[in-house]
């Protein structure tokens, strides 16, 4: 039987006024990702708030799932059979295509779910009942259960067809990639910042990555880990850039400066990072900076310290993980595949020059005072000039 991919988009369908923009962007993103992954052009029909994409006879379902899971803006999708609108015929088609899994013993209950976007002699509920009854008549050895059944047959009537499927896959959610402009995300090899970048990508931002590394004061492990993380995240968008900014010389200068109390170091590093990230933001015409900050998690994330750090810039700062629990963050990291890399031990540039008992309640005025003796502008220029850009 002819098969199609049926894609429903979520939130973007609710966008009043500029829905067309979100939809056409999503359609373009699917076309681009599919072409890249399957090396052919795809025809996508947009009809009644759905995309319908014809599939090849021997299509690789798992491969499609893995590609679709990285396209934001999709609410759910299914690999439908293009069936008839004649109920008797349709039931015959459903019956002959029932998947093997449902013969397993644990599948004891089922239901039929019908959506109808064309004229039909019966309404949706009546059709659900009728199709269910006909399946039972044919010998389907299951009980009907409307809430949480083991098995659902979905049927959507539109375009003069009854498209049916036995499984609906949840999509990646969010907004179509690239619809919210660019943001710069500061990324370390830790668990949080890759998840933070992912969360903002999911909301439609195109992310430019910036990593501050300690090389040659540290080995290259941390940088390599960050590159791997960015490689994973780059699958969710088009045209990824990673700035690798030398930062060890700044940390070394601050940590050996006798005027600067050890407990203030981390805050001064963070302020320097933000200043440099801001410059990259301007250069890239990005609209804000994303960090993986999480309220109260480490010393630099007390409310006072967050305030004292953010004081160096007026650009919007996005901290999508600010109110999450660590377990929630880890769960996402595992789902997107960054956790296994982030949890590897590596000598972080920050930990190397880290004070033993950091300040918990700093204020910007004090930090500014220490910075007076530091060649801030010179450092920024050097760091930017010597930074490397990687594209993927
Ligand atoms: P992460 O797990 O993302 O490293 P964290 O919980 O360890 O975060 P911090 O080390 O205080 O917290 O870092 C806070 C945020 O500052 C990070 O989420 C990241 O956005 C940014 N950051 C920290 N170190 C670096 C770095 N070397 N390069 C780029 N950004 C960094
Ligand atoms: Mg960290």
Question: Do 118 and 241 share a structural domain?
Answer: no
Q: Which of 110-114, 313-317, 318-322, 357-361 is least confident?
A: 357-361
CATH of the domain at 69: 3.30.2130.30
Question: Do 331 and 256 share a structural domain?
Answer: yes
Of 170, 198, 233, the position where a domain reaches its end is: 170
Question: Do 201 and 152 share a structural domain?
Answer: no
Q: Is the pLDDT of residue 56 over 70?
A: yes
Question: Do 211 and 326 share a structural domain?
Answer: yes
176 domain residue, yes or no: no
pTM confidence score? 0.92
Of 147, 170, 193, the position where a domain reaches its end is: 170
Q: What is the pLDDT of residue 107?
A: 78
Give the end-to-end CA distance of the chain in Å, rounded to a whole number. Answer: 39
Q: Which of 6-10, 112-116, 256-260, 350-354 is least confident?
A: 350-354
Q: What is the pLDDT of residue 349?
A: 53
Average pLDDT for the chain: 93
Q: What is the pLDDT of residue 358?
A: 86
Question: Do 250 and 133 share a structural domain?
Answer: no
CATH of the domain at 229: 3.40.50.620
Q: What is the pLDDT of residue 10?
A: 82
Question: Do 105 and 190 share a structural domain?
Answer: no
Question: Do 45 and 22 share a structural domain?
Answer: yes
Residue with CA closest to ligand 1 atom 16: 291
Q: What is the pLDDT of residue 354?
A: 76
Tokens for 306, please give them. 């967050």
Domain count of the chain? 2
Closest ligand (CA of 184): 1
Of 145, 170, 195, the position where a domain reaches its end is: 170
Q: What is the pLDDT of residue 351?
A: 62
Q: Could you give the CA distance from residue 315 to residue 69 in angstroms, rounded to a whole number?
A: 32
Question: Do 147 and 189 share a structural domain?
Answer: no
- Give me the half-sphere count of Cα atoms (radius 13 Å) on the Cβ side of residue 251: 24
Ligand 1: does its nearest atom lie under 6 Å from the Cβ of 300? Answer: yes
Question: Do 277 and 246 share a structural domain?
Answer: yes
Ligand 1: does its nearest atom lie under 6 Å from the Cβ of 192? Answer: yes
177 domain residue, yes or no: no
Q: What is the percent of the chain with per-residue pLDDT over 90, rounded to a whole number?
A: 86
Q: Between these two residues, 106 and 329, which has the higher pLDDT value?
A: 329
Closest CA to 69 of 337, 319, 318, 321: 337
Question: Do 58 and 152 share a structural domain?
Answer: yes
Mean pLDDT of 319-329: 97
Q: How many helices (H) and strands (E) does the chain have?
A: 14, 15
How far is ligand 2, taken at its centre, from the CA of residue 175, in Å? Answer: 28
| Domain that residue 77 falls in | 3-170
Question: Do 276 and 342 share a structural domain?
Answer: yes
């Amino acid at each position: 039987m002819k098969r199609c991919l049926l894609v429903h988009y979520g939130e973007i369908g609710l966008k009043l006024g500029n829905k067309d923009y979100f939809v056409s962007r999503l359609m373009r993103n699917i076309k681009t990702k599919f072409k890249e992954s399957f090396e052919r052009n795809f025809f996508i029909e947009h009809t009644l708030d759905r995309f319908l994409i014809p599939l090849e006879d021997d299509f690789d379902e798992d491969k499609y799932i893995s590609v679709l899971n990285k396209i934001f803006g999709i609410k759910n999708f299914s690999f439908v059979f293009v069936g008839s609108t004649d109920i008797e015929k349709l039931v015959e088609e459903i019956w002959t295509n029932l998947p093997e899994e449902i013969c397993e013993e644990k599948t004891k209950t089922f239901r039929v779910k019908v959506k109808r976007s064309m004229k039909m002699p019966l309404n949706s509920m009546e059709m659900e009942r009728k199709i269910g009854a006909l399946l039972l008549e044919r010998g389907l050895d299951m009980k009907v259960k409307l809430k949480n059944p083991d098995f659902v047959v979905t049927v959507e009537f539109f375009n003069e067809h009854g498209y049916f499927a036995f499984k609906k896959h949840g999509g990646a959610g969010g907004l179509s990639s690239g619809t919210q402009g660019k943001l710069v995300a500061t990324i370390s090899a830790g668990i949080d910042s890759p998840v933070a970048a992912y969360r903002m990508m999911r909301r439609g931002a195109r992310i430019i990555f910036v990593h501050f590394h300690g090389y040659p004061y540290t080995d290259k492990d941390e940088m390599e880990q960050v590159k791997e993380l960015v490689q994973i995240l780059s699958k969710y968008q088009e045209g990824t850039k990673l700035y690798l900014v030398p930062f060890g010389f700044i940390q070394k200068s601050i940590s050996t400066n006798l005027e600067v109390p050890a407990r203030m170091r981390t805050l001064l590093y963070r302020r320097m990072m933000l200043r440099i990230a801001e410059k990259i933001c301007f250069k890239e015409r990005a609209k804000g900076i994303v960090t993986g900050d999480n309220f109260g998690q480490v010393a630099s994330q007390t409310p006072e310290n967050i305030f004292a750090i953010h004081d160096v810039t007026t650009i919007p700062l996005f901290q999508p993980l600010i109110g999450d629990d660590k377990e929630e963050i880890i769960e996402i990291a595992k789902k997107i595949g960054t956790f296994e890399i982030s949890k590897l031990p590596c000598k972080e540039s920050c930990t190397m020059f880290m004070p033993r008992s950091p300040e918990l309640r700093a204020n910007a005025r004090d930090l500014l005072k220490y910075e007076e003796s530091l060649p801030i502008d010179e450092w920024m220029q050097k760091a930017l000039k010597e930074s490397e850009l990687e594209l993927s």
